[in-house]
Amino acid sequence: MRGPKNTATIAQKKLNPDTMKKTKVDKSTTKKEKAASKNSGAPKRPPSAFFVFMEEFRKDYKENFPDNKSVSVVAKEGGVKWKSMSDTEKAPYVAIAATKKAEYGIAMKQHNDDLNEKEKSASTSKSSSETNDDVEQEATS
């Protein structure tokens, strides 16, 4: 049947406000867990070619239009200009972005190596009595 749905079936599908509150709580806890799992000491991700271009464009735009305080206007103008540029005009920004990406790769490798060293030193820093206690607990289990 292709007619309108019966209002009784629609009313049955409505969620209870208590269950909706529970789902919101669940979402907030996952955000907290996600934030806790992030490593704050990690290097910042490199900007793309567009954002390298926008750094320069913002400076030029502020010089030409010092009275403009709207961020959205600057972003829209930058996007329009970026789209109108040819690949040869974009090439210097792409090259800068590529070098920053390579530097980021090196920094991330160094950061991950440092993390691995800290984890290894933390696991080997147990005293011999702690290690023996762990072995005894596993044997009794």
Q: Given the structure tokens 């290894």, which residue do they identify? A: 120
What's the pLDDT score for residue 136? 61
Residues 18-65 have pLDDT tens digits of 655 555 555 556 666 666 566 778 899 999 999 999 999 999 999 999
Model pTM score = 0.59
For residues 98-106, average pLDDT: 97
Q: Mean pLDDT for the chain? A: 80
Distance in angstroms (rounded) separating the CA atoms of residues 86 and 89: 5
